[in-house]
């Protein structure tokens, strides 16, 4: 599939096109498997292509109202949960660039990525903010960092200049139109692990997703009706693509797990 210099958006291809299809709109796009930390019991929740499109549109609309410049980077620090998936897709729909990161990064490591990416905001659950990361100080240190968007209970007090993720989702409109992009435009960034030096940004274009078609067909042998279980964290390239975006491009079902890893 040759996409050079063509109009193409991975959010439209991987999600919106299925929601617009009578054959696919009610198909399961995502199954979340979440383990209760106390009981160990796993709870499942299903999301159709139509449902995910509507929710991501609402979040994209609210994000667009924040008036960040198009192409601004946004650090994502969330576990394998539907909120990660919705945030990732909504940012792309709104013309912003998600930068998924590991929730295990220290405060200093997180600061490096914020500085290096020149991120305008950080999307995270409140409990995943490292104790060593002081947001008030970071706002002064990084002039490009404007807000913190937090996934948190309604009764939990937020730091100054923070927005509640759930409020953005609730206030958004479902009739949001995904930004028209070119195939070679940057879609998202991923950072290397930084084993031997500081992590380096790897910029993935929208066209990187259809570029995986041969892998999906010849290596993974994806077929109609497949359900694909991804065990790894979505901030890693293979998990994000082979376990989610490639799966959606072909109208299949992705399963993501949030809990203690065990055989």
**pLDDT tens digits, one per residue of 35-81:** 999 999 999 999 999 999 999 999 999 999 999 999 999 999 999 99
Q: Does residue 24 sit in helix, strand or coil? A: coil
The pLDDT assigned to 2 comes to 60
Distance CA 224, CA 242 (A): 15
pTM: 0.94
pLDDT average, residue stretch 157-169:
91
The pLDDT assigned to 1 comes to 52
Sign, CA torsion 65/69/71/77: negative
pLDDT grade for 193, boundaries at 50, 70 and 90: confident
Residue environment code for 208-237, b if the CB has 16+ CB neighbours within 10 A, otherwise e: bbbebeeebeeebebeeeeebebebbbbeb
pLDDT in tens, 222-245: 999 999 998 899 999 999 999 999
The pLDDT assigned to 188 comes to 98
The residues that bridge with 190 in the sheet, in sequence order, are 202
pLDDT average, residue stretch 15-32:
96
């Amino acid at each position: 599939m040759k996409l050079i210099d063509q109009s193409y958006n991975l959010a439209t291809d991987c999600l919106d096109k299925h929601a617009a299809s009578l054959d696919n709109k009610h198909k399961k796009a995502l199954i979340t498997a979440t383990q209760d930390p106390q009981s160990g019991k796993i709870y499942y929740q299903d999301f159709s292509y139509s449902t995910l499109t509507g929710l991501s549109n609402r979040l994209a609309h609210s994000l667009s109202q924040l008036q960040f410049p198009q192409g601004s980077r946004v650090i994502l620090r969330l576990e394998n949960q539907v909120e990660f998936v919705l945030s990732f897709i909504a940012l792309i729909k709104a013309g912003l660039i998600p930068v998924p990161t590991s929730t295990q990064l220290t405060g200093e490591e997180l600061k490096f990525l914020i500085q290096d990416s020149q991120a305008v905001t950080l999307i995270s659950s409140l409990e995943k903010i490292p104790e060593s990361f002081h947001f008030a100080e970071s706002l002064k240190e990084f002039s490009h960092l404007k807000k913190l968007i937090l996934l948190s209970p309604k009764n939990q007090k937020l730091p100054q200049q923070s927005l509640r993720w759930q409020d953005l989702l609730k206030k958004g409109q479902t009739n949001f139109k995904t930004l028209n992009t070119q195939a070679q435009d940057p879609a998202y960034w991923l950072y290397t692990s930084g084993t031997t030096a500081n992590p380096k940004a790897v910029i993935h274009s929208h066209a990187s997703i259809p570029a995986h078609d041969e892998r999906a067909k010849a290596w993974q042998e994806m077929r109609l009706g497949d359900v694909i279980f991804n065990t790894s964290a979505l901030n890693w390239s293979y998990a994000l693509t082979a376990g989610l975006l490639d799966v959606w491009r072909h109208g299949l079902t992705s399963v993501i797990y949030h809990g203690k890893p065990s055989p």
